[in-house]
Amino acid sequence: MAVLIQFCGGAKTVTGSMHFVATGHSKVTLDFGLFQGRRDEYYKVNSQFPFSPESLNACILSHAHIDHSGNIPTLIKKGFRGSIYCTPTTREFCRYMLPDSGYIQEEDIRYVNKINKRRGLPSRQPLYTKKEAQKSLKYFETVDYHNSFPISKDITLTFYEAGHILGSTVPVLDIKTGRTNTRIAYAVDLGRRDMPLLRNPEVPEDVDYLIIESTYGGREHEDIKDAELELAKTINKTIRRGGKVIIPSFALERTQFIVFFISELMKRKKIRKIPIYVDGPLAVNLTEVVRNNSQYFDDTTKKAFLEDVDPLGYDNITYIKDVNESKKLNDITRPVIIISASGMCENGRILHHLKNNIENPGNTIVVIGFMAKHTLGRRIVEKNKIVRIFGRPYDMNAEVVVINAFSSHADKFGLVDYCERFKRRPKKIFIVHGEPEQAEELRKNLRRHLNIKPHVPAKEETVYLRTR
């Protein structure tokens, strides 16, 4: 009896992770992420699946990032009635992230329908609403790290630490076929070793098949210490010119990470103490989840949360939920740091801050996260002279500084190192979650260093795994 895997989403691309696994007795998916891209493609890709949602037994959620969790409400809307398994922290994050995603879609469709009405075109529906996202939360079931849990007749699930964001996992499936056991590990997304805050990624034993990400399959991250210096230098330079520092940031993890770093730099007097604003209700709610789940941090950070004053609540940090408070930031003329979502500058309050600050050469936009193709964030990274925000052109006079070292993904060395740490080499490695050139680089590197032949599956490709 063979096990089937179909790489339905997040193959040869970074967004929309979703892989279908069928055994003799069960059908499950690894992740159910939202594909992010241009509007028409977005609605098409996210509403069609090559299997029927009612027939699925379970969905295993590796971590809370929206490209892994964001399409779960659609799955439920289309008839799935099984369980979604994740860690307790992931469920807490999703409690805020999924309704927020529903809200963004309702807003987007409201805008589209306004235009459609003018053009006499039919009105459209969002993928799911905020309410539908809230309803989907009751299907979440939590499993803590290292607790092996039977999720169907022939599959047992165990979560290992992925070291990527708080609550992130490398889910391992033990699939029973007669007397044989087949182990599949899913390292998507995978973090970095020896990073501040998070625990190191764990390498499970006796893995037969490994599915691994390749976001930075061919790239090397700068050292985190150099990144800290660069961040301090950039902020100090902006303060000297009297400008503002605008940091587009994913509300989840990256915001808390950068707040922690900047506060540390201020405590060590590497940066002058200026006000920091974390703007956006989602970022504020998620920071609260982080505080409540501090037991999952590495030992040093765990201790800091227990003993220190709150590492995310230094006295010059203001967390803003209220939209009127957010608008008041426009009137500030002295140097401040504004951190706001969305991370790729596609929606959210960051658009208002960019619109108000991008034309002033005294200001700096600090890019600390991955910017996918066709996003405003990518156009900022590429330093386009003119960018469009809310449909209007703006001159990009502000300085742009890109610091990749804060990435929560392993780089090309980290990915190869992770594969080398398996005591018994997996029979086959599948490379997903990367743009084609990055996936190809990782394939070549693994081939060179481990003398194996990894495979980069195409989207919707099906493979059959031998179980004996």
Positions that interact with Zn ion (CB under 5 A): 65, 67, 189
Residue nearest to Zn ion (CB): 65
Least gap, CB of 184 to Zn ion (angstroms): 18
Say if CB 63 and CB 88 are below 8 A apart.
Answer: no
Least gap, CB of 433 to Zn ion (angstroms): 6
What is the C-alpha to C-alpha distance for residues 219 and 147, in angstroms, rounded to an integer?
Answer: 34
Least gap, CB of 93 to Zn ion (angstroms): 11
Least gap, CB of 367 to Zn ion (angstroms): 17
Name the strands in the sheet holding 276-279, side by side, starting at the edge strand that comes first in the sequence: 317-320, 276-279, 337-340, 245-248, 364-367, 399-402
Least gap, CB of 409 to Zn ion (angstroms): 7
Least gap, CB of 327 to Zn ion (angstroms): 31
Least gap, CB of 329 to Zn ion (angstroms): 28
Q: Which is nearer to Zn ion, 67 or 108 (CB)?
A: 67
Q: Which is nearer to Zn ion, 3 or 66 (CB)?
A: 66
Q: Which is nearer to Zn ion, 65 or 353 (CB)?
A: 65
φ/ψ of 337, rounded to 5, equals: -115, 125
Q: Which is nearer to Zn ion, 14 or 396 (CB)?
A: 14
**With the C-alpha atoms ordered 309, 311, 312, 316, is the resulting torsion angle positive or negative?**
positive
What is the C-alpha to C-alpha distance for residues 110 and 116, in angstroms, rounded to an integer?
Answer: 10
Q: Which is nearer to Zn ion, 12 or 65 (CB)?
A: 65
Say if CB 31 and CB 188 are below 8 A apart.
Answer: yes
Least gap, CB of 286 to Zn ion (angstroms): 14
Q: Which is nearer to Zn ion, 108 or 189 (CB)?
A: 189
Q: Which is nearer to Zn ion, 244 or 254 (CB)?
A: 254
Q: Which is nearer to Zn ion, 161 or 189 (CB)?
A: 189
How far from 241 is each of 200, 237, 248, 346, CA to CA, in Å?
39, 7, 20, 28
